[in-house]
Structure 1
């Protein structure tokens, strides 16, 4: 049910992929930029509609859009926290980003979903701590439903891939 693979999240065939978004929802670098680039302008247009309605997305929250040209049906944009040495509620906010993504997935009939390593790039969240939080949040959520059948943690780099592989053994 929960797997890990090393690769490009924009190529994964699941109902929804999660984007490690920023609060502006207007694209950025890393996985956010890659998803916007691969999915095309439809994703950005949906994000702009959400911004016009609610002014972006808060840290720990998530919103859902079309997946544009991606093989998935939806992109769930989850905003993880910037690491501040654990002094700004980062662990709870990261956990919320995962659980709020899963709630949106459930609300939209998603049965398979892939996650990137949220907040571990330019937001500098420690990778091992982030992996533990991600796996715990997903595992806890799965105790509440049987409607999500497949969760894939997609790691772009070897370091995250090894960390997730060890934790999921």
Structure 2
């Protein structure tokens, strides 16, 4: 399975599944959820809230609507907004359950954000390390590509550092040196 760290807006990514950094209510407010809702249309929020709530660390699936994906996997790494913060366990569970659900759905590609590390208050570097470990340790059935997406320069640098992923130019240099 190919695993890369990329920078950009998750709502503009093309993949079989995009993972939403959700709270347990699955209501799509701000951050990653807001970006996905704005790009997909209000129907995604309606379907997500009708599907929820889910337990902390669990996932639910909706259609992707106007996004360039088949599915959105809503990963509840944080309690309902205002009801507490994400934990190492909830970040780990939400990541693992997202990967398992993508496999169950037959997805070949998936884009994962820094679950629990935005408004949920979990430390970005620690969260990125946990997410990276879960991705590296996961043995996929159908998933061929996982992109861990970071929005800002600061987030990208932190995620790349925490997961041990080199800059793209370093990846190219390493690949050429290995030939």
Question: With structure 2 as the length reference, what TM-score do the two structures score?
Answer: 0.83
1-side partners of 2:45 and 2:128: how far apart?
28
Number of residues paired by the alignment?
158
**Aligned equivalent of 1:91, options 88, 104, 107:** 88
| Paired residues of 2:4 and 2:146 also in contact (CA < 8 A) | yes
Q: How do 1:58-97 residues align onto structure 2 when only pairs under 5 Å count?
A: 58-81=55-78, 90-97=87-94
**Aligned equivalent of 1:129, options 115, 126, 130:** 126
Which structure is higher in RCO with an 8 Å CA cutoff and minimum separation 6? 1
| Paired residues of 1:42 and 1:66 also in contact (CA < 8 A) | no
1-side partners of 2:86 and 2:9: how far apart?
30
Secondary structure in 1 aligned to 2:78?
A: coil
Compute the RMSD of aligned alpha carbons: 1.6
Question: With structure 1 as the length reference, what TM-score do the two structures score?
Answer: 0.87
1-side partners of 2:33 and 2:86: how far apart?
23
Q: How do 1:148-163 residues align onto structure 2 when only pairs under 5 Å count?
A: 148-163=143-158
Q: What is the CA deviation profile of residues 25-60 of structure 1, one whole-angstrom value per residue up to 9, with x for unaligned ones?
A: 121111111111111133123213313xxxx12211
Q: How do 1:9-158 residues align onto structure 2 when only pairs under 5 Å count?
A: 9-51=10-52, 56-81=53-78, 90-141=87-138, 144-158=139-153
Gaps of 5+ in 2: 80-84, 167-179
2-side partners of 1:69 and 1:137: how far apart?
29
| Paired residues of 2:41 and 2:66 also in contact (CA < 8 A) | yes
